[in-house]
Chain A
């Protein structure tokens, strides 16, 4: 950042600021951030704006094509499904359910995973070895498989599938946090603080955690995209959210019966999932690159 440098007036951006400046240089990632912001906005205030309810049926307007089709009507922008429900309203409500529940479950998984990971990172000896081996074994199993096992135990439903995916995501966070904590604890500034008499807990909260936040945010964006894909996959397999609910995956599986007559009712909810995941991946990728550039300097 070129600035007129009078006297000693040098400008040093804070680490957060620095990351943000780097992030802004990446235009594709910025576009992803805008797209994500649009989805979050749609999830928050969209349901108040749409003219139809997600379950409201209109039997005069069955299988209406989207407005840009020659047979479409502007009153139903995305068309309607086989029960005459407005697809735009359903997709916006679906964004709220899918994105909202994914954010919540990633936050829970992060909180639990980081606590266990920090504990595992600080412990030594047999305990650490047992946790390590157990983690390696669980990490090898894909999250969706673990989620399916847990859903089989708990029974189907949106809440149960949320629990399942939360539990399935936790090992990744434990793994990441454990490695980070262990690496940081070997560095000299920690040793210096320890020589000053700081306890493990204080070291973790005051010194290590601020250094980890950004890496954890990157990890959380990755987990978020996995969570969205998994929750809609479970919904699609009828193991998650059940049929009349406007969850995006459940909507897709519901519209399968009319896929030939109304391809838009398959294409549009799926496109919403795709765009959501794509924007999250773009932001996560941009953040990671920005972070790497900052750390290299």
Chain B
């Protein structure tokens, strides 16, 4: 077991290392001066330029240059943004919670809706219920997420006027920044109108979360349905019924455990899809998260920010996927066989 965990951790570290290498190479690939792309400060004098050159060890060859970069990256010095001249790492830490909050809620909602529907469709395989759920989910993941959010804005914000169309919270409420998760911040803060602020933040959350979760829900339904169908057609379920177990006993003891565990890594993959979709949704809803910041950085050709944003987002994605994979492998006994066969 230790060997298996070691292999996964090894993969994680190697992948993160490759990502770092990639982001270092990006500084050379981007148009413009490499030194400016790395540090984010356009050198004003020859002296300053020399100082930067020493800091990034560019003249000492590729290897030591990358080694220095790696050390700087690990210590949190990711250069400064070309436009705002604020440290990129601090910006990312400041903005990341907003994106994570949005994706997390969307993921929770998709699981809450998708899980029962997927199981229902799987159990009622080849009936009208199954067909109905399947067609709805097929339509659901054919939606371009940007069009969906625009339609939601057009209908609910512009025509009906029920919900606000952009931002995280109305400007009336001044919520101090603690964790970056707006709901937690409101609960922690000592604003006089806590209930009203909470309600307002929730109203701002509805449309972005909805447009994100529709697509993901559809994918979750399909994954779970297929897994349930496969498990229910296998012999051990028949054996359990023959043994005389009731429907609910088979369902809870044999069906669910075997249907849900193996698809956990695929479900985790949906979180990464969600995070990318969240970038588009953030742009549309002016949600102050990392996606909106990254896309603005691309418009303004702010290369240090692009580099840092890429590194942060892909590192989160990779870490998340590999850790879920690891947890599932530890929990799911059938996988152990594969482990040892490979190791």
Tell me if chain B binds chain A: yes
> Which A residues are in CB contact (< 8 Å) with B146?
232-233, 236, 249, 252
- Of A151, A153, A285, the contact of B138 (CB 8 Å cutoff): A285
A144 nearest CB across to chain B (Å): 5
- Of B30, B273, B279, B317, the contact of A153 (CB 8 Å cutoff): B30
Instruction: Determine which residue in B150, B306, B313, B322 has the highest number of CB atoms from chain A within 10 A of its CB, and name it.
Output: B150
Closest to B275 in A: A142
Stretch at the interface among A17-25, A83-91, A184-192, A267-275: A267-275
Q: Mark B151-177, 1 if CB is under 8 A from A, else 0.
A: 101100010000000000000000000
Known A137-B18, A142-B317, A151-B298: A281·B280 in contact at CB below 8 Å? no
A145 located at the interface, meaning its Cβ lies under 8 Å from any Cβ of chain B in the complex: yes
> Which B residues are in CB contact (< 8 Å) with A282?
138
B29 touches A278 (CB 8 A): no
B252 located at the interface, meaning its Cβ lies under 8 Å from any Cβ of chain A in the complex: no
- Of A140, A153, A237, the contact of B26 (CB 8 Å cutoff): A153
A278 to B154, CA, bound (A): 22
Stretch at the interface among A4-12, A50-58, A64-72, A258-266: A258-266
B332 located at the interface, meaning its Cβ lies under 8 Å from any Cβ of chain A in the complex: no
B11 located at the interface, meaning its Cβ lies under 8 Å from any Cβ of chain A in the complex: yes
Q: Is the interface of B mostly helix, strand, loop or mixed?
A: helix
Known A233-B145, A233-B280, A237-B280: A259·B154 in contact at CB below 8 Å? yes
B68 located at the interface, meaning its Cβ lies under 8 Å from any Cβ of chain A in the complex: no
A152 to B273, CA, bound (A): 20
A257 located at the interface, meaning its Cβ lies under 8 Å from any Cβ of chain B in the complex: no
B144 touches A277 (CB 8 A): yes
A140 touches B269 (CB 8 A): yes
> Which A residues are in CB contact (< 8 Å) with B340?
none
B258 located at the interface, meaning its Cβ lies under 8 Å from any Cβ of chain A in the complex: no
Known A140-B317, A259-B154: A236·B280 in contact at CB below 8 Å? yes
User: Beyond A137-B15, A142-B276, A145-B317: 17 further Cβ-contacts under 8 Å?
Assistant: A137-B318, A140-B317, A141-B314, A144-B276, A144-B277, A144-B279, A145-B279, A145-B310, A225-B142, A233-B146, A233-B280, A263-B154, A266-B147, A267-B154, A271-B147, A274-B142, A281-B141
